[in-house]
């Protein structure tokens, strides 16, 4: 019985991850933030087909999930940057494997 319960828990967690990364643009946003923090306009420039409205929604969702953090830089001019949390960086590394697979097979 414990093995079945453990499998159910793992399946639920995997499904939750699929729910997160299956939203359009989420993996692209994470990929964009992997190297360094970026301002909203920079993220938008890296993903030109992504509307500002949807980018705003996705960034807020990722913030709520603890994947992205919003940093207000108080030096003049005041600006806001987005970066990945540790959780986000680890997800980005996992997505990198998918990217490598896609480059090879798709």
Residue 9: pLDDT band (50, 70, 90) is confident
Taking the model in full, what pTM does it have?
0.85
Type and span of the H or E element at 4? helix 2-21
Residue 100: pLDDT band (50, 70, 90) is very high
- Domains of the chain are 2-105 (1.10.10.10)
For residue 13, what are the CA distances in angstroms to 9, 21, 97? 6, 13, 19
Taking residues 66-84, what's their average pLDDT? Answer: 96
């Amino acid at each position: 019985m414990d093995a079945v319960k453990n499998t159910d828990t793992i399946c639920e967690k995997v499904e939750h991850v699929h729910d997160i990364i299956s939203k359009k643009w989420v993996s692209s946003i994470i990929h964009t933030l992997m190297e360094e923090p970026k301002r909203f306009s920079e993220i938008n420039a890296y993903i030109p087909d992504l509307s500002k409205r949807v980018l705003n929604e996705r960034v807020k969702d990722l913030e709520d999930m603890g994947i992205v953090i919003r940093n207000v830089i108080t030096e003049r001019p005041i600006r806001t940057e987005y970066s990945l949390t540790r959780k986000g960086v680890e997800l980005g590394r996992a997505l990198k494997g998918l990217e490598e697979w896609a480059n090879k097979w798709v």
